[in-house]
Each structure stands twice: as C-alpha cells, then as structure tokens.
Amino acid sequence: MSRHQDDAQSTIRENAKVNPSHIPIHQSSSKGSSLTCNTNDNNHRLKEKPPVLDTDADAQSLGISLPQVAQVDGVDESSTTKMQLQTLWHWKPKAARYDPANPPKFTIWMNMLFGFASCFTVSNLYYNQAVLNKIAETFHVTFEKASSVATLMQAGYCSGLLFICPLGDIFPRRPFILGLIAFTATLWIPLCLTTSFPSFSAISFLCGATTVTPQLMLPLVGDLAPPARRASSLAVIVSGLSLGVLLARTLAGVLANFTSWRNIYWFGLGVQWLVFALLYIWMPDYPSKNPDTRFNYFRMPWQIAQLLATEPLLLQAALVAFLHSGIFTSYWTTLSFLLSSPPYEYSQMVIGLFGLIGVVVIVCAPIYSRLIIDRLVPLVSAIMGLVVETLGVVVGTSVGSFNVAGPVVQAIMIDLGGQFTQIAMRSSIYGIQPLKRNRVNTAYMVVSFAGQLTGTAVGNRLYAQGGWVYSGACGIAFGGFALVVCLVRGPREQGWIGWSGGWKFRRDDLPPKKSETPTEEALEEAGAVGGYEDGGQRGDDLENASNARNGNDDRKKEQ
C-alpha cells in the first residue's frame, strides 16, 4: 500500500470517530474486509460527500423550507457552513409548520396572538408623545424641536404604509413579519442609548417606517377568517391597535413621571422581542398569495391609486375613514388645551388618564362585532357608528366648556362609534380583490392617515380662533359629511352612486341556520367567539363568485 493510501486510510479512521455515516465503505477482494477510499491519480485528494436533504419532504419533516440541494463533490467547509446557516434560518417550530393538506385552523388564540402583536408594535409610534418635554430637557432643545420626533415617526409610518405594506401581497407573511419586527427591535436599541438628537430623530423615522406589522396582520386575518366572522376577527386586531395607542401614552406618562423617560424605550425594546418570540413559535408559515406573479415595485403607488379610482366601495370606505379620523384626532388634540385651561386647570397626569376612558369600549369591540356587525351588511354598522360618534361630538361641544361630563361622554361615544365604523369598513374592503388585500389596505390606511393629519391641523387652527366650540363644530361637520358619503351608495350597489340591490340590512353570505340542540347551540356560540373550525381556508369559499373572478383577473393583469 502506498504512502498516500496510508494517509487517506488514517484520515478515514479519524472521521469515523466523529461521524461514521460519512465513510465510503466497500469490501476488499483480499482476506477479510478493510476500509479503502477512492484516490485521485493526479492529486490523491480525499473526496467526501456531505449529508444533504434529498427531497422537500425531508426538509419539511425538520420544519425547513429549502429548495432541493444537489449533491456535489468537493464541498468545502465554507459551503457546508453556509448550508447549515441556511438550514437554521429556515427551521420552524412544529406548531409553525404549514401543511397544505391540513392547513392550520384560525382559532381565537391565534387571533388574540395577532391582536397582542398589533398592540405592542403600534405602541412604538406613541411612546414619545407623552415624554416630549423630557426629551427636550435631555437633548437641550426647544419643545418645538423635540415635537419633531413625533412628527418624524408618524411620517416614517406613513412611508412604511405606502412602500412596505403592499409587499405583503408578494412575500410569505411569516418571514416578512418576523424580519420587520427583528429589524425594528434591533434598530430600537440606539433610541435607548444615543445622546445625539439628530441621530435620535433619524432613527425614530426609520423605526416608524418598519413599524407596520399591525397593517400586515389585518389583511392576514381578512384572508384567514371566514367571511361570516370576519368583522369580529378584525375587531380583535383593531382593539389591539386602539389599546396600543392608549397604553403607550399612559405607560410613558407614568414611567416618565417617576423614573427616567428612557425606561419606556427599554420597555418597548423588551416587549418587541417578546412579540418576536411568540410569533416565531406560534405563527404558521402561510404561503405567499401571489408566488408566481411578476411584481413591479415602482408601479406599486400607481396600482394603489388605481384601486381608489376603480373600486367604488374602497373609495367610499376610505372617505369615511378620512372623516372619522378627522373627528378623532381633532378631539384628542384640543382636549388637552381645554382641560389645562379654566375652569378645569387639570394636571398633566389627570389629562393623560382621560385616555383610559374608552378602554372598556375597546375591549368589548369583539363582542358587539360578533353580535351586530357580523350579522348586518357593513354599511349599516358604519352608519350606526357614525350616528353615535356625531351625537357624542354634539354633546361634548354643547356642555364641554363648563362641565367635564361633556368631554367624558364625547370620549366614550366617539370610541364606541369609531370602533363600529372602522371594523365595518375594514370588513367590507377585504372582500375586494382578495389577491391584493395588502394593497387595498394600504390605500385605505393612507387616506385614513391623511384624515388624522387634517383633523389635527384644522382642529388646532379652529381652537385657536374660537375655542372648544369651534373645534367641536368641525367634528360635527365631519360626522355629517361622513353620513352623506355612506347614504349616497347602498350596500349592494355595484356603481358609484345608488341603492340598486335592495335595502335588506342582513348579510347575504351568512351560513344558513340549522336546527340544533341547546348543547350544540352553546358549542356553536363558543366556536363563534373562539375557535374557527373553518380555519379561514374554507371560509373564503362562502364569498360570492365575483371574488374568485377578480382574483383570476388580478393574476392576469400582474403577469
């Protein structure tokens, strides 16, 4: 035996101690059996084949989503390391693996997890609003300059809505959402540490742009929830959004009052990683909605504008959202001016606690959504919400200047009416072009966000000119105009204006009632509020045939 063969055989014996499966073995023609290896006549190098995943089934059994990997000779150490890192990156816990033959069911627990994630990710946008005075002191800038932090974060959020959210129609949702949360949480660390105000401002903008997880959750729930229960499912996410706004301001105010304002940012960092961990463990790896679609990123804003110009229902819902947002932000912006002035002159702490008035209404949103909104056409629920909201503004404007009960009643009624309106309008637009739900949601949210800016600007200007009554009159006008927008187009109208299709208030796609025992009825109610046995996958089959036709047309247009 040559010296080269002796060296190769020694190498094989050493490898056998580590991983016997890597040894190429064959029987020798001489007495007994011996270990031999193939040698190259030119360079006598040992060739080994690293273990690979031969089939997708092998990968799926390990919770890995990998393309087939061809076995090649001479894989070096760097390639093996790359393969191992890729395997680790694509590995998923068992609960998160997606089986097309048995897709995961959309349960109340999954719905609540998405609501929790929405609550504590949207909070990122509002922590700063309660500590702007502390930020001004720390960075030695004026209060006006410190307030630009809140503006930049909101501007970043608007940019994320327009340029990031539509990608949810193309990318698989699990890695996309987890990647955004991890990126935001990592980028959040400098906000807890930096002593440079320009850096703090720039990073705030970037964090605002990537804090769009809730707006990816909403279309996802629209995909998964059965149409007959879509409103109550969306109500959980919308309630999470509203709670996130209130809790962020309240927690930030309390912590800044007793400790350093930086602690609320450390809290935000910790809760973001908690959300990441929970979603990593439990969020199923839902496939992409349009995996084969050729997507032009630079045409995306134009496509969103086209949706508003070609979908009457979307334009109607977006206009209502614009006007509702104007009512909401006009009230909360001018409320602090009213309560800090005579005859009230409340402290900042007391004013901040006013934000908790609507918590009960928000928490109960899934209940009344299931009892009312799920049973009626969305337009009727939206009109009911706008009537309640407008009446609340009338009461608050009439007595708010001399009795604190006025603003309290107004807060409760605009929260209640606003929840009705938002949930109803969202449940209606998610029936439009199912393959473009993220782009539909983006169009809706951009117009709604413009309403927030308008309400803030107009409310402040009118309060400066005529006080609480002037700003309240603006809210009444917004509510009245929103009612007109709802009434000019009926719930079954296919065109821009009219009431063709009838005046029936009950939804057409409700499953037929069946005779049940009291026990079955109780179980059905529990399922209605809790588990969705349809899993959302069969639920979409209850939508009318036009959605399927629109979906096919969408694919053709994209290609």
Q: Which amino acid makes up residue 314?
A: L
Cα distances from 317 to residues 45, 155, 299, 364, in angstroms, run 70, 23, 23, 23
Please give the structure tokens belonging to residue 249.
């301001």
- Encoded amino acid at 137, one letter: E
Among 308, 222, 310, 227, CA closest to 494: 310
d(CA 23, CA 13): 9
pLDDT (0 to 100) of residue 507: 66
Distances 167 to 208, 209, 365 between C-alpha atoms, Å: 17, 14, 29
> Nearest CA to 168 among 225, 212, 125, 224?
212
Q: Which residue spans within 442-528 are E strands per DSSP?
A: none
Looking at domain 106-289, its CATH class is mainly alpha
The pLDDT value recorded for residue 420 is 85
| 45: helix, strand or coil | coil
Distance of CA 34 to the CA centre of its chain: 62
pLDDT of residue 77: 64
Burial of 500 (0-12, 13-18, 19+ CB in 10 A): exposed
Buried b (16+ CB within 10 A) or exposed e, 333-368: bbbebbbeeeeeebeeeebbebbebbbebbeebbeb
**Residues carrying CATH 1.20.1250.20, the chain:** 106-289, 295-506+553-559
pLDDT confidence of residue 535: 41
The topology under which CATH files domain 295-506+553-559 is Growth Hormone; Chain: A; (1.20.1250)
Length in residues, the chain? 559
Distance (Å) of CA 47 to CA 4, 39, 50: 14, 8, 10
In this structure, what are the phi and psi dihedrals at residue 376, rounded to the nearest 5 degrees?
-110, 160
Give dist(CA 231, CA 382) in Å, integer: 12
* CA separation for the pair 398, 406 (Å, rounded): 7
Amino acid at 39: T
Residue 82: both structure tokens together: 């790359």
Q: In whole angstroms, what is the distance from residue 429 CA to residue 1 CA?
A: 78
Structure tokens of 69? Answer: 């990997």
Query: 103 is written with which tokens?
Result: 């897709």
Q: What is the pTM of this model?
A: 0.69
What does the pLDDT read at residue 478?
Answer: 94
How far apart (Å, rounded) are the C-alpha atoms in residues 434 and 350?
Answer: 45
User: Which ranges of the chain have pLDDT less than 50?
Assistant: 1-4, 8, 11-12, 14-58, 61-62, 64-73, 515-559
pLDDT of residue 523: 37
Contact 389, 517 (CB under 8 A): no
Q: If residue 69 lies in a helix (H) or strand (E), which one and from where to where?
A: none
Q: Assess contact for 399 and 405: CB atoms under 8 A.
A: yes
Token pair, residue 418, equals 């606003």
